Structures are given as C-alpha cells and as structure tokens.
Structure 1
Amino acid sequence: MTWPLALTVQLLLATLALATVNGPVINANFPDPSILQAAGTTYAFSTNSGSINIQVATSPDGGNTWTLTNTDALPDVGSWATTGNTWAPDVIDRGDGTYVMYYAAESPSQGTHCVGAATSTNPEGPYTPQSQPIACQTAGGGAIDPAGFQDTDGTLYVVYKVDGNNLGGGGTCGNGNEAYSTPIMLQQLLSDGVTPTGNPVQILDRGVADGPLIEAPALILHQGTYVLFFSSNCYNTNLYDISYATASSVSGPYTKASSPLLVTGDDGLTSPGGATPLPDGSFMVFHATTNSNPLTRPMYTATMDWNGVTVSV
C-alpha cells in the first residue's frame, strides 16, 4: 500500500510533535549541562573536557541544533582553585548586562570541591572568577553542582549539593551504605549574585528511594510553585534519574514527586540526569550515558509539559 504524500507528511509531523525528548543533540561528552537564552542565542555549558575548564555550545534556533564551540568559558578557575575537575556550571543573566557563572572546582586548601562564581558581560565568556568561593562545606564532603535562581522580587540565590558521598563511605558512589547525607542547600546572595548573605538553608535530602545520594539541583518558579529538579542514585548506574520536588516557599518544605521525571528506558535513555530547565519551565537540557561507554554523557533536550505541579516530558 502506498500512502499519499500529504498523509505521509502529516504522519511524519505528528511523530515529530510527539518526540519531546531529542538527542543526543551534542554527541560528545557534555555532562551536567545548563542552559541560558540571551540576545537571540541559546547557550549550553558543561563540565570540563581535556584542557577546557568549562565547555560551551551554542544554538541559533532555540535549542534544536547545536554547535560545540571548543572554547573555554572559564580559562581561569580562580586563585582558590585548581584546574582539571571543574564541574556542573550554571549561568544566569543578572539583568544589568552581566552574566554570573556558578561552578564547582577543587580547592587545595580545603581538600574538597567548593562552589565558585565568575562574571562576564558576554554570555559565552570568558568569565572572570571571584577571589573566594561562595561555599565549601568541607566537613560535609564539599560543595558541588551549583545552580542560580532569581525570585520574582529580584532576590538571587544559588542551590548546591553537599557532597557527602565524597567522605568515603564505600560502595556505590562512595556512599553505598548510605552513611552520609547529601543535602541540597539554598544560599541567598546579594544583588551582585556572587556574595553570600546569611546562612545556607537545607531544602532537601536523600530518602530511601534515592539510594546513596541526590545531586544536580536546579530551581525554577512555575505558576507560583517552586520546583526543584534533582538527580538521585549513582550516575554510573542504570538507577540514575531526573526527579523533582515542589514547594510554596523558596526555602521549602519541598515535597518530592511520586515518581521521577525520567528514568532508564524512557525514550531509549540510559541513566538520564543533570537536568537544567529554562526559567519558564518550557524546555530543558540533560545528559544520558551511551551504551558503549557509560562514562560518556552526551547532551539531550526535552520539551516540558505541566499539569498543575506535575511535570512530564
């Protein structure tokens, strides 16, 4: 049977419309991606690769097609840090022509990762680091996976993970016996976006279903509800996922959704994690592993759908 051309096109378009998860859109190791839209271009930033501390990719069409620039958005990680393990960057538009990048880097003086901040007037960089980190949480194992957030009143925050599984509890991801907590912290910042004010507040921690850890927080406000995205379980296992929790106040309490947003097997994905949505909650980037190499994590995208406080892709 031969389908009419018009019907074939309609079926193809319908299939594409249903394909809300796309990728890999960057078919290279691009883990822990974040997303920024600025001046008609969409940017993605990722963990270090080789001699590049922070990878950058650009999209001219809202996230459909991507080009890896092979430039370093953060050539100088700061005097407090060393190069080589610069993780999980996130960039926000401060609203005054300055962009703020949050990142995690190793601090020789602390012996752990700390969360740092850097600024630039060009969203692609290069970013200039601050002389001191925002958070270290050394006793808890370090601070990693930062993400910026601006509330409706203009107040700036950064969320991050206390890296408890770095304390060496043993087993899966260093915390297989779940000896240490891995809380998500909320730190208020001054209007410069780089200076902490007040003490950090714990807004979430792992539960039994989360295995050894939760990590990779990203916070947005959607129709009056604060939505905290995070990953749970270990990144190099098939249990790694993308989940979320909701609250009526930025400082919580947050209630975890009844089921994860994405797990292994959804849309052919393996170990999806490290998601960052646009501030309006319409679109997100994330990584997943390849079957041939679980340590290679290309970037994927997804269109987000909402039903009240329930998210789907």
Structure 2
Amino acid sequence: YYLYYSGESTSDTIGKCLGVATSKNPQGPFTDKGAPLLCGETFVNIDPMAFDDSATGKKLLFWGSGFKAIKVQELADNRLSFKPGSLASEVIHPIADSDPENYQKLIEGAWIFYYGGYYYLLYSGDNCCGDKAHYGVMAARSTLAIGPFETLAGTNGKMNSVILERNERWKAPGHNSVVKDDANQYWMVYHAIDTAMQTFARVMLIDKIQFKNGWPSIETGTPSTIAQKGPIVNNLGSNTKRAAMKNNKRRRSYQ
C-alpha cells in the first residue's frame, strides 16, 4: 500500500513537500521512503492523488494548489519516485478574477476517475476555511488521463465549472474523493462546514453522483440536508455490519 501525502519542510526557505510511505496493510504502520518526492514554494505542492491509467499502464500523480496550476507527472514503476525523464504537465489553471463568485482563483484537491469514455478530473477552490470560506467542487474531462482537459464552464458558457457549492446548512463543500459501490454507483465524499455549529470545523459528507449530458453532477448542486439511501456494499465485515444503520440509510454528516 502506498500513501502519498504533503507535509512541511524542515527548511525555512522551502514550503510544502510531497512524500510517500508504504505499508503491507492499509491501516499501517507506514514507513516513509526517507526523502520527499518534491518540494517548492509556499503550499503549491499539496493534495497528491495517485492514479493508475489502465489504458496506458502508466502510474500517475496529480497534485497542486497555492494559486498555481494542478499538475500531473508519471511515477516510476516502484511508485516511490517520478519516472526518470518525465516532466510535470499543467492540466488545470486558476483564473485570476475578482468576481466574488469565482471559485477558481485558487484550485486544489484534484481527484480523477474514469467513466463512460471520459477521465473526469474533479477539483476544488477557492477558500476552504474560516468565516470567509468560499469553496466548491468543479469538473473537467478528457479522453486522456493526462489531458488536455475541457472544463464544464468551457462547454456551458458559465463563469464556473462548479458542480457542488454551499447551501443554508453546509458551507464551503469541497476537497472530494470519488468511490464506486458494489451496485456501480458513484459517490462523492467531501468535507464542509456545518453552519449550525459555532466553530468552523469541517465534517465529512457523502452524496451520490449522477451523470447528465456527459458530466458528473450532484442532484441539487449542493450538499443534501436529510438522510438518504447510502452506498451498496456487499460482504461487509462483522464490525461494519454492526455499525451500519437500518435500511441502508446514512446521515450526510459525521461529527
């Protein structure tokens, strides 16, 4: 098992770094490879996401933030370094726009998955945290894992490619992952701020992904606010069965 992560450099002049650790078990313990994959200015090098492209056999790493582009680069066969001779490619760029509804001033949290002939790249922006948080999930797609990607905004004429944004209950939803259940349904797992709480702590939420006109979407475009039917998972372990709620229903918030 390979765990890619971002962390602080010990240097006063270097910002965040990307690292990788390995374990024989998903629950750990993990052993770090001993040196970072990459370091850079401020928080540009964060939010790594590894992806194996079955079409080409390439092992890829996506990452990026810090008002810079989201990047992708091929990993070596051992997954512990970048492939010699490979270069990072910029696949999605931020949009420097002063419009308060622009989610793409800062972009980060890339997640890629394949469905129905397209590689879908979901990413988040613009400000995840605090009392002025303004954050949402955006979408782009390509017929190749490394791009070029077209954004949702590029096809619908809107300013943003956002597919998930705030509502009265949940503020700043974003930094998602995508999972597929045993019924081949796709789910978005992400965090958001509960406006009913006195703090700005983020909690984990989950909503079902639908596909319309070749694009992923969330039913209302915002986090669900009532209990919904959850993912279908077969052959649950005994501990998971005891924890499961009746009728396969899940609360959207986990606090």
- Give the alignment's TM-score, normalised by structure 2: 0.71
Q: Report the counterpart of residue 282 of structure 1 in structure 2.
A: 186
1:270 deviates by 1.0
Of 225, 230, 248, the residue aligned with 2:143 is 248
Q: Report the counterpart of residue 185 of structure 1 in structure 2.
A: 71
- Looking at structure 1, the residues matched to 199 and 115 of structure 2 have their Cα atoms a distance apart, in angstroms, of 33
Of 167, 170, 194, the residue aligned with 1:269 is 170
User: 1:218/1:271 Cα in 2 relative to 1: closer, same or farther (>3 Å)?
Assistant: same
Q: Report the counterpart of residue 13 of structure 1 in structure 2.
A: none
Runs (5+) with no aligned partner, structure 1: 1-98, 164-180
Q: Report the counterpart of residue 113 of structure 2 in structure 1.
A: 220
1:208-261 deviations in whole A, cap 9, x for unaligned?
A: 333530111111121221111111111123421011111122221211113411
8 A contact 2:65–2:107 mirrored in 1? no
Q: Report the counterpart of residue 17 of structure 2 in structure 1.
A: 114
Moved more, 152-161 or 250-259: 250-259
1:293 deviates by 4.3
1:98-148 deviations in whole A, cap 9, x for unaligned?
A: x1111000011353111111111111111111111122233x754001111
Q: Report the counterpart of residue 20 of structure 1 in structure 2.
A: none
TM superposition outliers: structure 1 runs of 4+ over 4 Å: none
Secondary structure of the 2:7 match is strand
1:205 deviates by 1.0
User: 1:205/1:103 Cα in 2 relative to 1: closer, same or farther (>3 Å)?
Assistant: same
The amino acid across from 1:229 in the alignment is L
Does residue 131 (structure 1) correspond to residue 131 (structure 2)? The answer is no
The amino acid across from 1:212 in the alignment is K
Q: Cα RMSD over matched residues?
A: 2.0
Q: Report the counterpart of residue 249 of structure 2 in structure 1.
A: none
Q: Which has the higher contact order (CA 8 A, sep 6+)?
A: 1
Runs (5+) with no aligned partner, structure 2: 154-160, 219-255
Identity %: 25
1:154 deviates by 2.9
Does residue 303 (structure 1) correspond to residue 208 (structure 2)? The answer is yes
Which structure's residues are more often helix, by fraction? 1
- Looking at structure 2, the residues matched to 286 and 201 of structure 1 have their Cα atoms a distance apart, in angstroms, of 26
Q: Report the counterpart of residue 51 of structure 2 in structure 1.
A: 149
8 A contact 1:239–1:271 mirrored in 2? yes
Secondary structure of the 1:304 match is strand
